Structure 1
Amino acid sequence: MQSSGNDAFNASDRAIIRLLYFAGLRVSELCGLKWRDLKSRGDGGQITVFGKGDKTRTVLVDAGIWREISGLKGNAKHDDPVFVSGKGGHLCRSMVFHIVKNAAKRALIEGNVSPHWLRHSHASHSLDRGAPIHLLQKTLGHSSVAITEMYLHARPTDSSGLYLPDDDDE
């Protein structure tokens, strides 16, 4: 189930895009995944991620993504890579960049779209929807909240002043 390298969009490519976004993974973390790192948990699943600085964390994924990823397994063994290259080993970073760029092109998304762009989108969208910053820190594998805070952006339609009482409220 590897990418053919052309503009075809297969189940593996779709799972790569969705997992980068919904799990907030770094491209190296995605490329290093083995089937032994994935465990069923209720309707969804749990992924053990081996990140920067030899830090390990777990990330939960919902039922839809879990089914999608599980559907890729076929006859793969416990120690086989989840995302396979044309030669049968782990998918390389450059191929993941290629898959993401092609998906962005098909979706008519302009700009510098990359696997990290999906990770950044995960963080920004999670915070926008009320995720606690300490949970996002844990999910992304950041060593401190200060690193995670870079995803806090001022929104043109929002201002801290809007949260203060106005003269009529006093």
Structure 2
Amino acid sequence: MDWEEKISDFYGYLKLERNFSENTIDAYVRDIQKLKSFAEEYLDGVAASQISYEQIQEYLYHLSKDKYSERSQARWISSIKTFFKYLHEDDYREGNPATLIEAPKMGLYLPDTLSFEEIETISSSVDKSTLLGQRNFTMIETLYGCGLRVSELVNIKYSNINFKEDYIRVEGKGSKVRLVPMPEYTKNILLEYTRDTRPNMKIGDKYQDIVFLNSRGAPISRVMVFIIIKDIVEKAGIKKTISPHTFRHSFATHLLQNGADLRYIQELLGHSSITTTEIYTHLENEELREAILKYHPRNQ
């Protein structure tokens, strides 16, 4: 009861006091649930109020043997440190056993990006002869055309699309709302889908306002979007690790390459910090070299 009760309280703390997104909350809670299971199986059922620094280290060592990525390890440690900091500040335990735990050192993480030609190849590989194929094509073009997160894509509502003013009202991380402009090309694809395709699909009574639905007429899940994109990319013959987020990263990179100001890209992506935008947007060394050759006054 000790673990379950405190994990439940932790969920409320993350949601109400820290204002974390549902996806982050789910990840943190899953991490602590795994620690609870380990404590029950390997640590004689030690309570959350009694677990020690050495026992948490034992748990992390147990996980590390499965060769998880540094990013995964950093997330576990962040979850654990946040959980025990909360218990300590809530006067549930005298000390914080996670204070001295250090996260792995991480370099700059740059996921694969797609060239515009690769975007075109993937888009043209979608079988648009079916209603679901047309939906998949529209999802990919919307991810790339508007630079959305997958969580933002699956939550798009009809009532949030303004076809006259060419923008989508999007609720991002931390419930921050932004207006994302639609390029004419993307707008026409969305308009055709909402007008000609979706009315012919199965639509649940409660989901009349949701744009992207699964075959049962309910909102499509983030996981299903990942699966769909993975399948399409394989058929397209693209040998890269691609996820829905790759289209968002490519959106930002292509805007930067074509001269867009980094501050504008920050607003379009909904980043609170320009530093985050700089991580998402990078240029190839050859392009940087060409920029120097073309624009530096000593080279004129």
Aligned residues: 160
Q: Is 1:18 paired with 2:141?
A: yes
The alignment partner of 1:49 has SS state of strand
Q: 162, 175, 194: which one pairs with 1:39?
A: 162
Partner of 1:3: none
Inter-partner Cα distance in structure 2 for 1:151 and 1:129: 15
Query: What is the aligned-residue RMSD (CA, Å)?
Result: 2.3
Determine whether 1:164 maps to 2:296. Answer: yes
Instruction: Write the letter of the residue equivalent to 2:211.
Output: V
1:63 corresponds in structure 2 to 184
For residues 101-153 of structure 1, the C-alpha deviation after alignment (integer angstroms, 9 at most, x for no partner) is 12212221112100011111111111000111111111100001111011342
TM-score scaled to structure 1, two decimals?
A: 0.83
1:31 touches 1:92 (CA, 8 Å); kept in 2? yes
The answer to whether the Cα contact below 8 Å between 2:156 and 2:210 also exists between their aligned partners in 1 is yes
Structure 1: give runs of 5+ residues left out of the alignment.
Answer: 1-6
Say which is worse superposed, 75-84 or 132-141, in terms of deviation.
75-84
* Structure exhibiting the larger radius of gyration computed from Cα positions: 2
**Is the aligned partner of 1:114 residue 2:243?**
yes
Cα distance in 1 for partners of 2:281, 2:150 equals 22
**Secondary structure class of the residue paired with 1:81:** coil
Question: Cα gap change, 1:161/1:110 in structure 2, threshold over 3 Å: closer, same or farther?
Answer: same
Q: Which amino acid aligns with 2:186?
A: I
Deviates more, 1:71-80 or 1:149-158: 71-80
Q: Which residue of 2 aligns with 1:129?
A: 258
How far the C-alpha of 1:154 sits from its partner, in A, is 4.3
Q: Distance in 1 between matches of 2:256 and 2:283?
A: 12
Secondary structure at the counterpart of residue 73 of structure 1: helix
Q: TM-score, normalised by structure 2?
A: 0.49
CA distance in 1, matches of 2:237, 2:280: 24
Alignment of 1:64-103 (within 5 A): 64-74=185-195, 75=199, 80-103=209-232
Q: Does 1:147 align with 2:147?
A: no
1:83 partner amino acid = F
Distance 1:106 1:33 in 2: 27
Task: Give the whole-Å Cα distance in 2 for the aligned partners of 1:152 and 1:65.
Answer: 22
Counterpart Cα distance in 1 of 2:182 and 2:170: 12
Q: Structure 2: where are the runs of 5+ without partners?
A: 1-125
C-alpha contact 1:36 1:79 (8 A) present in aligned 2:
no
Change in Cα spacing, 1:154 to 1:67, as seen in structure 2 (3 Å) is closer
What's the CA shift for 1:156? 2.2
Higher RCO (CA 8 Å, separation ≥ 6 residues): 1
Q: Which amino acid aligns with 1:19?
A: T
Counterpart in the other structure of 1:4:
none
Q: Conserved in 1, the CA contact under 8 Å of 2:253 and 2:283?
A: no
Q: CA deviation at 1:63?
A: 2.4
Name the CA distance, whole Å, in 1 between partners of 2:296 and 2:151. Answer: 43
More helix by share: 2
